[in-house]
Amino acid sequence: MMVPASFSKTVQFRVSEKKCDWEIKEEPQPHPKRETVEEGSSRMWKGEQRQHDLDDIGRYRALVGQVDSTIEVEGLNNQDLAEYANSCRMWTGFAEIAKARGRGYNRQAPVPVLPETPRALLAAGIPNLPICHTVRHIVRETTISNRSHRHGIEPSLLASVPELLQSPVAIFKAGAGRVAVALDAVDTIGQPLVAYFDLAVPLSVGGGQFRSGELVNFMLSVYGRESLISEIESARAAGECNVFNEEALFSLAVQALQRRKAA
């Protein structure tokens, strides 16, 4: 007897004195694996941890709300999400003080920007030291005034500087022991953002995690600078500039040209 090819169950042929027939033998089906207590606890912990990570990322992003992020956090796996959340936690301390415009904080107190120098800055020869600012500088940078160093930067933009330093547009020399870091952002009137640093300088005043006399890369000022693009090109021609993002530099140059035409 021919067995149809579509017959999916195991068939066993049995012979007896009186008849020949087909006996259908059911294959034993494996029992679905039950989740152990440990596996269930681990799954729940991972779910809770992911939510904590999303909450901390959301808290940071609320502080720097005007800065668009290219990271789609919902699609990240748990490990990548945790790494980004840890970065956000590291950036949040500075962001909170910047968003508050320094109000309620000791003006002379040093403010940690980053615990260590980002890789891109290291590649440009900047020493690996903590990056530091002060509350007094934050107050000046977020104050609108014609007085010197009153730049009127939006607090949320200043709050994003630790993240922006991870992917600078360019770095060039700006004097003895000083560098300028062009950032991939513009101020409220469209001028490209730049941060100036004094390298490996001792702190005159300690506080918090810093000791008086400790060497840091000190962030002198952050503001929008109209002449930044031409300064980058001059430094580049002199061999004193590292460009990390040609596309962003071109975009900033186009915006600068458009501003001049509109003026």
**Is 176 a residue whose pLDDT tops 90?**
no
**Is 60 a residue whose pLDDT tops 80?**
yes
For residue 23, name the pLDDT band (cuts at 50, 70, 90).
Answer: low
C-beta atoms surrounding 170 within 10 Å: 29
| Residue 197: closest CA among 122, 100, 93 | 122
- So what's the pLDDT on residue 152? 80
**Is 74 a residue whose pLDDT tops 50?**
yes
Average pLDDT, the chain: 84
**Is 34 a residue whose pLDDT tops 60?**
yes
- So what's the pLDDT on residue 67? 47
- So what's the pLDDT on residue 258? 86
175 falls within a domain: yes
Contact 189, 145 (CB under 8 A): no
148 falls within a domain: yes
- So what's the pLDDT on residue 43? 57
**Is 89 a residue whose pLDDT tops 80?**
yes
Domain around 251: 108-262
54 falls within a domain: no
258, amino acid identity: Q
Question: Tokens representing 131?
Answer: 């990056």
Q: What is the CA radius of gyration of the chain?
A: 30
Query: What is the domain count for the chain?
Result: 1
| Residue 63 to residue 222: CA distance in whole angstroms | 17
φ/ψ (deg, to 5) at 198:
-95, 130
85 falls within a domain: no
More confident residue, 260 or 127: 127
C-beta atoms surrounding 207 within 10 Å: 15
190 falls within a domain: yes
| Residue 22 to residue 16: CA distance in whole angstroms | 11
For residue 185, name the pLDDT band (cuts at 50, 70, 90).
Answer: very high
For residue 171, name the pLDDT band (cuts at 50, 70, 90).
Answer: very high
> Scanning the structure block, which residue is given the tokens 């990548």?
80
184 falls within a domain: yes
Q: Phi/psi zone of residue 82: left (φ > 0), alpha (ψ -120 to 50 degrees), beta?
A: alpha
Question: Tokens representing 22?
Answer: 């087909």
- So what's the pLDDT on residue 35? 57
Read off the pLDDT of residues 96-108 as tens digits, 9 standing for 90 and up.
Answer: 999 999 999 988 8
Read off the pLDDT of residues 212-248 as tens digits, 9 standing for 90 and up.
Answer: 899 999 999 999 998 999 999 999 999 999 999 999 9
The CA-atom distances, in angstroms, between 202 and each of 110, 179, 228 are: 12, 17, 28
What residues pair up with 219 in beta bridges, in sequence order?
Answer: 197
| Residue 55 to residue 234: CA distance in whole angstroms | 44
The CA-atom distances, in angstroms, between 167 and each of 19, 142, 258 are: 83, 23, 25
Cβ partners under 8 Å of residue 183, min gap 6 = 161, 164, 165, 168, 169, 192, 193, 194, 195
139 falls within a domain: yes
78 falls within a domain: no
More confident residue, 141 or 261: 141
